[in-house]
Structure 1
Amino acid sequence: MEIKSTLINHSGQELKVVYWEGDPLADLEGKILQGVHAFCFYDGKLVLVKHPKSGWMPPGGGIEQGETYEQAIIREVKEEINMKVVSQALIGFQDIYEPGRIVRQTRSFCIVEP
C-alpha cells in the first residue's frame, strides 16, 4: 500500500511524503533512516504525546548512532511517556522528500506498560 501526502516543515516549505507498508531497511539507497514513531497501546488505550507546536502525536524521535530502529523505539517510548515496550511490530514507514535528501521514518505498533 502507498499513501501520498504533503506536510509543511518548520521553514514553511511544503514537502512530499509517501507512506509505505513493508521493510524500512529495504531500498535505502539515497535515503537516510532517521526517525521512529510508535503507536503505543496500554490497557486498550492509545498513548500520545502533546507537543507544543505539533499537537498530539505518537511517541518518537531520532535514531541515535549505532541504534536499530527497534532500540530507538524502546528508548523514545521510555523518554517521552515513561513506559516500557512489552512488544512491538513494524507496520511501515514514510519517506519525506526534503530539498536535497530523502528522510525515512518507521511506524510501529507497540504494547506498553508502566
Structure 2
Amino acid sequence: MHSSIYVDWGGHNVRLTWLPLHEIKDLKQVTSVHGYCFHEGKILQVHIKGRGFNNPGGHVDEGETPQEAFLREAYEEGYVKGTIQYLGAIEVSHEENPKFDSNGKYPLIGYQLYYRMDITECEPFKRENESTTRIWVEPEEIPYIMDDHAIAFHIIEEALQLGRKSSCKIG
C-alpha cells in the first residue's frame, strides 16, 4: 500500500507516503528510525519529554547503520533488546512546503525507516536519556495512547501481520 497523507509539522505542510519494504539506496536521506517493539503480545510505548507517548526511535548517528541506530534508540529509550525486521519507510516530502529551508537539517525528500522488534531482553527502566517512562499497550489501544498520523497506525497493522507470519512458519 502506497498511501499519502498531508500533515502539519510545526506550520510546515509535509506529504508523507508509506513505502512498505522500500529499499533506501542513499542512506543520507534517512532522517530517522522508529519501530514497534513487541513483548508478550503488547507494544512498548515510551514517554518522550515534550512529545508524549510514542515508539522508540530517533536519528542515525555518524557511522551507524539504520539497524544499529534503531537497536540503540530502543535500548536508550525503552531499555529493551531484541531481533528486528524491516517494515518499510515513510517518505517525507517537502516539495509542496512553502516554508521548506533548503539550508536546514532535513532534505527536500527524506525517509523515516520503520522496524518491528521482538523483544528478547527487558532491563529495568533507568530514565537516563530523554524518555521518562515506558508502558506496555495492547495493539488495539495504541491510537488512544499515541498521538500520531494515520500512516503510523497503518504500520502497526503491518508489524502485527509480520509477527503472525513469523510465528506460523512451518518446517
TM-score (norm 2): 0.59
Offset at residue 14 of structure 1 (A): 1.9
Aligned counterpart for 1:91 among listed residues 83, 87, 97 = 87
Offset at residue 2 of structure 1 (A): 0.4
Offset at residue 53 of structure 1 (A): 4.2
- Aligned residue number for residue 105 of structure 1: 112
Aligned-CA RMSD value: 1.9
Structure 1, unpaired ranges of 5+: none
Indicate how the Cα distance of structure 1 residues 82 and 92 shifts in structure 2: closer, same or farther if over 3 A, else same: same
Structure 2, unpaired ranges of 5+: 95-99, 103-107, 123-171
2: distance between equivalents of 1:102 and 1:109? 24
Instruction: Give the strand-richer structure, 1 or 2.
Output: 1
Is the contact made by 1:24 and 1:104 (CA closer than 8 Å) also made in structure 2?
no
- The structure with the largest alpha-carbon Rg is 2
Amino acid at match of 2:45: L
* Equivalence map 1:1-114=2 (5 Å): 1-10=1-10, 12-26=11-25, 28=26, 32-84=29-81, 86-98=82-94, 99=100, 100=102, 101-112=108-119, 113-114=121-122
Offset at residue 50 of structure 1 (A): 2.2
1: distance between equivalents of 2:12 and 2:24? 27
Offset at residue 51 of structure 1 (A): 3.2
1: distance between equivalents of 2:55 and 2:71? 13
Indicate how the Cα distance of structure 1 residues 55 and 24 shifts in structure 2: closer, same or farther if over 3 A, else same: farther
Offset at residue 49 of structure 1 (A): 1.5
Amino acid at match of 1:109: R
Partner of 1:71, secondary structure, is helix
2: distance between equivalents of 1:111 and 1:33? 23
Instruction: Give the helix-richer structure, 1 or 2.
Output: 2
Is the contact made by 1:37 and 1:108 (CA closer than 8 Å) also made in structure 2?
yes
- Aligned residue number for residue 160 of structure 2: none
Amino acid at match of 1:83: V
Deviations 1:13-43 (A, max 9, x none): 22111111123324x49x7112100100112
Amino acid at match of 1:106: L
Indicate how the Cα distance of structure 1 residues 6 and 51 shifts in structure 2: closer, same or farther if over 3 A, else same: farther
Percent identical residues: 25
